[in-house]
Structure 1
C-alpha cells in the first residue's frame, strides 16, 4: 500500500528503520524497485530489498539510529516526485565491533503514484562526502 503523499516517504523510511520493521520499509517500494543501500548493495525488487535490509539490520546497522536533517521534495508532474533527505546515522558498528561514530547520509528516492498511493521505484541511501 502506497503513501498518501511523497512528502511522507522520508518520515516513513526513518520510522521503519528505527523500528527495524523490514516489511514496513520494503512496503515503501514498488514490487520491481531498485535500492542501492549504504553498504553498496544493489537490491533489485522488493524481495531482494527485504533480504538485503534484513542482513544489514542484523549486521552493521543493528543499533543504528537516524536523525532527520534537511529535506527537499521536487514534484515531477502530478504522479512523480524526487525526494532528498539528509540523515545523521549513529550507532553503526565497524567490522571489528567498534562504534563508527556519526555518519552524514543522504536518501534519494524517485516516487511514483498509482491507485494505491506513492511508492519508490528507485532509491539510493548513501554516505555524504565532504
Structure 2
C-alpha cells in the first residue's frame, strides 16, 4: 500500500513489521535504497533489504512487537522529508532464546516522493543509546 504523506511512513513501517509482511515492508523503500537494520546489517537495494529483513523477522525478531513513541517530521521541500520515530521493541529473543526485555529504538528515514508514493531512499533502525 503506497504511503500518501510522509507522516504515514512510520505507521506503515510498524504495520508491515508487526504483520511480518516483508513485501509490504520492502515496498516502503525505493529500488536503490539503503537500510541499516537493528542488527547492524547494511542492505543496499530492495533485494538485499528483503533478504536481510526476512532473516531478522524469522530470527531474533520473530515475536518482536513495536510500540510507537515520539515522532518528528522535517520536510525538505515538496519532494523530500526526514522522519524520526521512536519505538519500544519487546519480544526480542537473545541468542540463547531468552527474552531481551524492552529495547528503545529509533527509526530515521529520508523519504522521497515517487510515483509509487513516499518511499525511503535511506533509513536506519537503531537501538537508542541511553
Report the TM range for the smaller structure's normalisation: over 0.9
Runs of 4+ in 1 over 6 A off after TM superposition: none
Mapped to 1, the partners of 2:26 and 2:109 lie a distance apart of 13
Per-residue Cα deviation, 1:37-82 (whole angstroms, up to 9, x for no partner): 0000000000000000000011000000000000000000000000
Mapped to 1, the partners of 2:91 and 2:2 lie a distance apart of 29
Instruction: Determine the structure 2 residue equivalent to 1:30.
Output: 30
Instruction: Determine the structure 2 residue equivalent to 1:111.
Output: 111
Instruction: Determine the structure 1 residue equivalent to 2:128.
Output: 128
RMSD: 0.8
Instruction: Determine the structure 2 residue equivalent to 1:65.
Output: 65
Per-residue deviation, 1:117: 1.5
Size of the aligned set, in residue pairs, is: 130
Per-residue deviation, 1:116: 2.4
Per-residue deviation, 1:2: 3.7
Instruction: Determine the structure 2 residue equivalent to 1:102.
Output: 102
Mapped to 2, the partners of 1:70 and 1:115 lie a distance apart of 29
Mapped to 2, the partners of 1:27 and 1:95 lie a distance apart of 29
TM-score by length of 1: 0.98
Mapped to 1, the partners of 2:97 and 2:116 lie a distance apart of 41
Mapped to 2, the partners of 1:83 and 1:115 lie a distance apart of 19
SS in structure 1 of the partner of residue 35 of structure 2: strand
Mapped to 2, the partners of 1:97 and 1:103 lie a distance apart of 16
Bigger mean CA deviation after superposition, 52-61 or 109-118: 109-118
TM-score by length of 2: 0.98
Instruction: Determine the structure 2 residue equivalent to 1:40.
Output: 40
